[in-house]
């Protein structure tokens, strides 16, 4: 395993920055809102305080509580794998950016699960009466990171095929 270089510490710094923004935004919402309270910002966006004990789209939300530690262990395992990948492939900038966003998002949500027993969600987009499930900054990092990871793989496949 290579020694951590300056690039590695930069990636960890970016992940830590995402965790910080995520946690500060959640603290601001927790200080202002009661559970279920909503504030209309635009005709298609509200701030709302909800807790999600499950994963994306409330997967396993009603599982009885065991899922909290399952998702904590899963996120920590994925985080360890991501750190290994960042160390093993310092030259892969696009991949490392994607993995770093996933890392920061995963750790932001782990903090919630340990501190509150569930993930704090507050971004509520809606259109014509249909609401996208509420999410947070950490979820955004995970989603953008996953999309970038797929794009990176597609670009690498295209380069290898040429």
Catalytic residue among 112, 121, 124, 152: 121
Q: Comparing C-alpha atoms, which of 124, 143, 152, 1 is closest to residue 52? A: 124
Annotated active-site residue in 22, 112, 124, 139: 139
Q: Residue 121 catalytic? A: yes
Residue 139 known to be catalytic = yes
Describe the crossing of helices 66-88 and 6-32 by its angle, rounded to 10 degrees: 150
**Closest C-alpha to 141, from 118, 125, 116, 123:** 123
Residue 136, SS3 per DSSP: coil
For residue 39, the surrounding DSSP H or E stretch is: strand 38-42
Catalytic residues, which ones? 121, 139
């Amino acid at each position: 395993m290579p020694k951590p270089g300056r690039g590695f510490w930069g990636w960890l710094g970016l992940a830590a920055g995402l965790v910080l923004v995520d946690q500060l935004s959640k603290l601001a919402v927790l200080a202002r809102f009661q559970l279920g309270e909503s504030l209309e910002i635009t005709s298609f966006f509200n701030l709302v305080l909800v807790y999600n004990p499950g994963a994306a789209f409330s997967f396993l939300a009603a599982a009885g509580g065991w899922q909290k530690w399952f998702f904590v262990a899963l996120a920590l395992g994925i985080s360890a794998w991501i750190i290994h990948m960042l160390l093993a492939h310092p030259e892969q900038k696009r991949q490392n950016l994607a993995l770093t966003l996933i890392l920061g998002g995963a750790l932001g949500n782990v903090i919630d699960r340990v501190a509150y027993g569930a993930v704090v969600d507050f971004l509520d987009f809606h259109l014509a009466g249909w609401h996208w499930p509420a999410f947070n900054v950490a979820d955004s990092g995970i989603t953008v990171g996953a999309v970038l990871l797929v794009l990176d793989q597609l670009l690498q496949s295209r380069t290898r095929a040429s």
